Structure 1
Amino acid sequence: MLRYMLHPVTLVSAGALALTLLLASFPQASLTAAIRGISIWWEVLFPALFPFFVISELLLGFGIVHFFGTLLDPMMRPLFRIPGSGGFVMTMGFVAGYPIGARLTAQLYEQKLIGRVEGERLVALTTSSDPIFLIGAVAVGFFHNAALVPVLASAHYGGSILIGLLMRFHGRSEQAPSPASTASGQPRLTAALTAMHRARLADGRPLGQLLSDAIAAALRLMMVVGGLVVFFSVMMEGMTSAGAIPILATLVQTVFALIGLPEALSPAVINGLFEVTLGVKTAASGSALLMHQTAIAAWVLSWGGLSVHAQVVSLLSRTGMRYKPFLLARFIHGFIATLLVYALWGWMGPSM
Structure 2
Amino acid sequence: MREERRGHRSTVLLAAMAVVFTLALVIYPKVGYEAGMQGLKVCWEIIIPSLLPFFIVSELLLGLGVVRGFGVLLEPLMQPLFSVPGVGAFALSMGLAAGYPMDAVITARFRQTKQCTRIEGERLLAFTNTADPLFMFGAVAVGMFKSPALGALFAVAHYISSFLVGVTFKLWGRRDPDHLREVKDREEVRPKGNLFARAYREMLVAREEDGRAFGKLLGNAVSESVQTILMISGFIVFFAVVIEILEVSGIMAVIGWPLMEIYRLFGIHTGLVQPTLAGVLELDIGSAQTAAVPAPLIQKLALVSGIIAWSGLSVHAQVASVLTQTDIRMRPYFLARFLHAALAALLTVLLYGMGVGRSSQGAMASLAHHLPVMSSAFEQNGFWPTFAHAMSNSVVWWAAIFAALVALSFGALLIRRIRVIAFFVRSHG
Aligned to 2:353: 346
Q: For 1:191, which of 198, 204, 209 is the aligned residue?
A: 198
Report the Cα distance in structure 2 between the residues aligned to 1:41 and 1:191, rounded to whole angstroms: 41
Q: CA deviation at 1:188?
A: 1.0
1:62 aligns with 2:64: yes
Q: Which moved more, 1:27-36 or 1:257-266?
A: 257-266
1:293 aligns with 2:295: no
The TM-score with structure 1 as length reference comes to 0.95
1:303 aligns with 2:305: no
Q: CA deviation at 1:181?
A: 9.1
| Runs of 4 or more consecutive aligned structure 1 residues displaced over 6 Å after TM superposition | none
Q: Deviations over 1:232-278 (max 9, x none)?
A: 11111221122111123333222222223222222221111111111
Aligned to 2:287: 280
1:315 aligns with 2:307: no
Between structure 1 and structure 2, the one with the greater Rg is 2
Aligned to 2:165: 163
Q: Deviations over 1:276-311 (max 9, x none)?
A: 111111121121222221111101100011100000
Call closer, same or farther: CA 1:286–1:181 in 2, change over 3 Å: farther
1:211 aligns with 2:218: yes
Q: For 2:255, which of 241, 248, 251 is the aligned residue?
A: 248
Report the Cα distance in structure 2 between the residues aligned to 1:256 and 1:245, rounded to whole angstroms: 16
Q: Secondary structure at the match of 2:149?
A: helix
In structure 1, runs of 5+ residues without a counterpart are none
Q: CA deviation at 1:183?
A: 7.0
Report the Cα distance in structure 2 between the residues aligned to 1:243 and 1:45, rounded to whole angstroms: 30
1:38 aligns with 2:46: no
Report the Cα distance in structure 1 between the residues aligned to 2:195 and 2:10, rounded to whole angstroms: 48
Report the Cα distance in structure 1 between the residues aligned to 2:336 and 2:10, rounded to whole angstroms: 21
Contact map agreement 1:70 1:183 (CA 8 A) in 2 = no
Contact map agreement 1:70 1:181 (CA 8 A) in 2 = no
Alignment RMSD (CA, Å): 1.9
In structure 2, runs of 5+ residues without a counterpart are 361-429
Contact map agreement 2:138 2:151 (CA 8 A) in 1 = no
The TM-score with structure 2 as length reference comes to 0.78
Greater relative CO, 1 or 2 (CA 8 Å, sep 6+): 1
Q: Give the letter for the 1:123 counterpart.
A: L
Q: Deviations over 1:78-116 (max 9, x none)?
A: 111111111111111111100000000000000011111
Q: For 2:342, which of 331, 335, 340 is the aligned residue?
A: 335
Report the Cα distance in structure 2 between the residues aligned to 1:122 and 1:10, rounded to whole angstroms: 34
Contact map agreement 1:99 1:127 (CA 8 A) in 2 = yes
Q: Identity of counterpart residues, as a percentage?
A: 38
Aligned length: 352
Q: Give the letter for the 2:84 counterpart.
A: I
Q: For 2:242, which of 235, 239, 242 is the aligned residue?
A: 235
